[in-house]
Amino acid sequence: MVSKCPKKEGESFSEWFECILREAEIYDYGRYPVKGVGVWLPYGFQIRKHVIETIRKLLDETGHEEILLPLLIPETIFRKESEHVRGFEGEVYWVTKAGFNELDVRLVLRPTSETVLSYMESLWIKSYRQLPKKYYQIVNIFRYETKMTKPMIRLREVSTFKEAHTLHESFEDAERLVMEAVNIYREFFDLLGIPYLISKRPQWDKFAGALYTIAFDTLLPDGKALQIGTVHNLGQTFTSVYDVKIQKRDETIDYGWQTSYGISERVIASVIAFHSDERGLILPPLIAPIQVVVVPIPVVDNAEKRKEVMEYAQDVYSELKSAGYRVKLDDREELRPVDKYFEWELKGVPLRVEIGKRETEQRKVTLFRRDTLQRYVIERPRLIEAVSTILKEIGEYLRQRAWKWFSERIKTFDSLDEAIDYVRQGGIAQIPWCGDEREAYEAIEKLEAVSVLGAPIPAIERVDVTDKKCALCGGKAYTYLRLAKRY
């Protein structure tokens, strides 16, 4: 049972997280005989499916088109862009043999798809009339992660990688798309109730081949920041190498401009980490495999009453199903109601409907909320209205609770030493900064357990450093620099 799981906060977080994945039957990690890969179990796969449906809907509504690119990338294509290769070469899986034969050209298992898509775009796109192009795919990627692997968080096979790639006539249009991508991710994370900071990564930490990288970071209960999404302006880095030339509206020929942006199953890890507790999983109704479970409480010593309860429970189930909810009737006779309660609380079902003799006779239902552990007794005619209201309240309550916890752990310091002490305690620190990246790298990146997340983006949030001095050099501050421990 879930009582085996340790406390969620602090050093026991990893153990708690793996316990939740195991006990709620979400993800089997560590038993498959390849390091850094996991197996999605049926219940977890349904969570994954609803998360994918959520981001797919947002992308489709904004004119993105879904494609599917090959997993295998020839070395001849992969090596064309040198900066990109340097960024990924140490993490690449190579396919060198087929059957008994050595391959003439080695193949890369996709670490990401900028190279192969740019090659294909050189064949597909010729005119500004075809632009902008917004592609995306949801696929597996492979990276030979050399640090300690963790389920969903640090993997060698990322099994839920959503990568989007866009192509534009001008730098200005690519910049517009960067902000569109940021806003899509903001809506996505808000729907799932995941709090975040949006920062521009320093140049030493940008995506290999990008002009710059914007990252979404959250903070897990162990005090480490987790990157949950990135948006990159790629400029003409890949189009110039792969000869993606566009006839512009003024009839000149130029290389196209690209962006890319991605998320992974770290999103699902963050949902679990923020919303769940020591009793088990808690899920936003939007992505819950089962939104409502109906549990009849049988009358043991009266067959006629027992039948009435089961029929009433079946009617309630049918009404909820007809209303469009993902609902389950748990009519298993071998389990006591209390055992069913434990199981569905462990699996994070947002709302439970309890139906016994009293509810049947009075034509009522008892509703139980997984998030706040509250019960409500309502009249049967109000069932659909009440369920609709409560599920919306659960989604909003989880979002507000997560943001409150997250916001309380972001603090601003004028002193670098105070900021570092706070980071090592498990928070995110901001210090006034002049913008000198070389100085920031020398002062911070070599410290143990402290990393630079980047700086806030004025177009996204207001930055006020009036009369502030840079915590690194004492000069005038123009922005803030964010520091945290990182996965």
Q: Specify the pLDDT at position 1.
A: 43
User: Is the distance from CB of 189 to CB of 228 less than 8 angstroms?
Assistant: yes
The rounded distance, in Å, linking the Cα atoms of 185 and 263 is 9
Domains of the chain: 10-277 (3.30.930.10), 292-390 (3.40.50.800), 410-486 (3.30.110.30)
Per-residue pLDDT 10s for the chain (487 aa) are 445 788 898 889 999 999 999 999 999 999 999 999 999 999 999 999 999 999 999 999 999 999 999 999 999 999 998 888 788 888 999 999 999 999 999 999 999 999 999 999 999 999 999 999 999 999 999 999 888 899 999 999 999 999 999 999 999 999 999 999 999 999 999 999 999 999 999 999 999 999 999 999 999 999 999 999 999 999 999 999 999 999 999 999 999 999 999 999 999 999 999 999 999 999 999 999 999 999 999 988 899 999 999 999 999 999 999 999 999 999 999 999 999 999 999 999 999 999 999 999 999 999 999 999 999 999 999 999 999 999 999 999 999 999 999 999 999 999 999 999 999 999 999 999 999 999 999 999 889 889 999 999 999 999 999 999 999 999 999 999 999 999 9
Q: Specify the pLDDT at position 3.
A: 52
86 burial type by CB count under 10 A (0-12 exposed, 13-18 middle, 19+ buried): exposed
| R_g over Cα of the chain | 26
CA-CA-CA-CA torsion sign (441, 444, 447, 448): negative
Beta bridge partners of 464: none
Task: Return the ∠ at Cα 475 (arms to 472 and 476), rounded to 5°.
Answer: 115
User: Is the distance from CB of 396 to CB of 372 less than 8 angstroms?
Assistant: no
Selection from 412, 417, 414, 448 nearest residue 427 by Cα = 412
CA-CA-CA-CA torsion sign (174, 179, 184, 188): positive
* Strand locations in 277-399 (E): 292-296, 327-329, 351-355, 364-369, 375-379
Selection from 148, 150, 207, 212 nearest residue 175 by Cα = 212
User: Is the distance from CB of 365 to CB of 380 less than 8 angstroms?
Assistant: yes
HSE-CB of 248 using CA atoms within 13 angstroms: 12
Q: Specify the pLDDT at position 85.
A: 78
Concatenate the DSSP letters of all residues of 5-19 into one string: S--SSGGGHHHHHHH
The rounded distance, in Å, linking the Cα atoms of 13 and 17 is 6
HSE-CB of 303 using CA atoms within 13 angstroms: 0
CA-CA-CA-CA torsion sign (11, 280, 226, 266): positive
Cis amide bond preceding 132, omega within 30 = yes
The rounded distance, in Å, linking the Cα atoms of 69 and 139 is 9
Q: Tokens 């009519």 sit at which residue? A: 331
User: Is the distance from CB of 251 to CB of 309 less than 8 angstroms?
Assistant: no
